[in-house]
Amino acid sequence: MGVVIEREEWALHPVAYPLLAAAALAAVVLLPYFSRPHVSAAVSPSPFDAGTAPFLRFRRAFLLLFSLASVAEGIQSVFGEDEFARCGFGREQMAARLAAATAAVLFLGGASGIVSDKLGPQRACIFYWMLQFGVGALKSFRGLRCTWINNFILALASSMFSFCFETWIVVEHEKQAQKQDLLFDTFWLMTFFESVSLVGSQGITNLLLDNDDKGILLPYTFAALVSIIGILYIRKAPSSSTTQHASVIGSYQKSFFAHVLRDKRVLILVLAQASVQFSLSAFWFLWAPTIVADGRDAQLSLIYPCFLVSRMLGSAGFPWFYGATAPFQNDDSLTIAYAAAGLALSIVAYDYQEIGTLVILFCIFHACVGFILPSLARLRTMYLPNELRGGMMSFSLALANAPIFIFLLQGAYRQNFANSTILGLAVCGLLAAGGCIHVLLRRWRKHGRHNARSL
């Protein structure tokens, strides 16, 4: 008599998606109506309509372009481990490919920030789109999909995505002499639209994905076409050239040492950004095996959009704490977000096994990340010269990828390091960053909110 093994499948409640989406939408729509009385009459009814007409047109076009870039990023990463499996790679081969890509970010990605600062933000964005076009064109053909060069190009493009668009919007904002609050609004809108676009990239992939026996994978072809659109748009956009800060004090190296390595405030921001990047990388590698560790089946493709919607909710909460229109002010909210993210991951690192609780904890973590990312961009704008933004962000990205590279090199897939160890390190980084941010904000208040941009 045969033994029948029953499969138990865990499914996310369908109400979770509209509930989180409605909460994020309410945070955006209701903000003008809950603004402080002395500024509510002067504010725009929507954060999408603030600013002068030229800057408003530029910001709308910029957010559309940034959303397309996020879609391309999402398409490149949506296949994940399944793509390696289709190429016939085992666990150790996957770890070797990922380690090589991490090494590319660690070394080439660190230099890309400096090159971006020297080229200017628009040329850096064009170079980013060229990288996306190259990897999209190569992966469109089945015979070229698993080559090493794809991993290097994609890793380099992803590292540039984190700073080239942010630098461009900051430079254009200062060029048109807009209010700083409008720039802060743009930061959280970027995080909001990025999350929406990543969800949309999954839908586009599912719509275009077909039997790839024909040799062409349409989602990658779509990403290559989107890259061409991005290149053509930026080439037609007005130039945003700025005066190089390095020419004033000598050289880029001296400027970097003076404003980044020797400024404790900026070093705190570097470490804070690195802790978030490392936590996200650890989550990307470990969330799927952590959720299904108890043996139950779960449709991970339906769970991950819930995390992205949670990040939308976190970014939509940013304007409630910062800016002239915020209904209440709390500079310690960033510290609380770091602490909440760290505590959420600490429970996961403790090896909690209930899938429902794990999903809630990961949602809390992504909501905190959605709040942290625009908050750090705000502090970078206040303390860091624009001409060093790419180098500073690529430096923090290199610090985040260094431990990931070590884990992969030592065989994390062979269980040389437990998942709880990696997540525990991420927790320590987040909690330490939260404490450093608290000290930074306390000194900021003590010295009257000194702004490095006025130096």
Domain locations in the chain as residue ranges: 52-238+248-454
How much is the pLDDT for 345? 92
In the predicted model, what is the mean pLDDT of the chain? 80
On whether the CB atoms of residues 183 and 381 are closer than 8 A, the answer is yes
CA distance 239 to 338: 37
Q: What's the pLDDT tens digit per position in 300-357?
A: 878 888 999 999 999 998 888 886 666 666 778 899 999 999 999 999 888 667 888 8
How much is the pLDDT for 119? 83
Number of helices followed by number of strands (H, E) in the chain:
19, 2
How much is the pLDDT for 248? 42
CA distance 291 to 359: 8
How many angstroms separate the Cα of 177 from the Cα of each of 122, 182, 234, 322?
A: 19, 11, 21, 20
CA distance 408 to 404: 6
CA distance 388 to 118: 9
How much is the pLDDT for 275? 94
Convert 310-342 to b/e letters by CB count within 10 Å (16 or more is b): bbbbbbbbbbbbbbebbbeeebebbbebbbbbb
Q: Which amino acid is at 24?
A: A
Return the percentage of the chain with pLDDT > 90, whole number. Answer: 23
How much is the pLDDT for 445? 64
Q: What's the pLDDT tens digit per position in 368-393?
A: 999 999 999 999 988 888 888 888 98
CATH entry 1.20.1250.20 includes domain 52-238+248-454: yes
How much is the pLDDT for 247? 42
Closest CA to 422 of 360, 366, 351: 351
How much is the pLDDT for 133? 92
User: Residue 30 has what DSSP assignment?
Assistant: S
Taking residue 356's Cβ as centre, other Cβ atoms within 10 Å add up to 11
How much is the pLDDT for 4? 45
How many angstroms separate the Cα of 366 from the Cα of each of 64, 123, 192, 359, 363?
A: 23, 31, 12, 11, 5
- Regions of the chain with pLDDT less than 50: 1, 3-5, 38, 40-43, 242-249, 450, 452-455
Confidence (pTM): 0.88
How many angstroms separate the Cα of 135 from the Cα of each of 108, 148, 163, 167, 275?
A: 16, 11, 19, 23, 28
CA distance 187 to 375: 8
